[in-house]
Amino acid sequence: MRKNIVAGNWKMNLNYADAQSLMYQLLEYKKNNQTNCEVYIAPPSLYLTKAKDIFENGEIGIFAQDVSEYQSGAYTGELSVDMLSSININGSLVSHSERRLYHGETDSHANRKIKNLLDKNLTPIYCNGENLDQRKNGDYLEVVGNQTKTALFTLSAEEIKKVVIAYEPVWAIGTGETATAEQAQEVHAFIRDLIANQYGKEVADEISILYGGSVKPENAKEIFSMPDVDGGLIGGAALKIEDFSKIIEGFN
Residue 236 annotated as part of some ligand binding site: yes
Annotated catalytic residue, options 98, 105, 130, 168? 168
- 9 known ligand binder: yes
State yes or no: 11 annotated in a binding site.
yes
92 annotated to bind ligand: no
CB atoms near residue 75 (< 10 Å): 12
Cα(17)–Cα(213) distance, rounded to whole angstroms?
28
Residue 90 known to bind ligand: no
- 242 among known catalytic residues: no
Establish whether 59 is a catalytic residue: no
61 is in an annotated binding site: no
Catalytically annotated residue among 69, 96, 105, 109: 96
Q: Which of 67, 86, 92 is nearest to 77 (CA)?
A: 67
For residues 70 and 159, what is the distance between their CA atoms, to the nearest angstrom?
19
Whether 214 has a binding-site annotation, put simply, is yes
Mark the binding-site residues for substrate, compressed into ranges.
9-11, 174, 214, 235-236
Q: Which residues are catalytically annotated? A: 96, 168
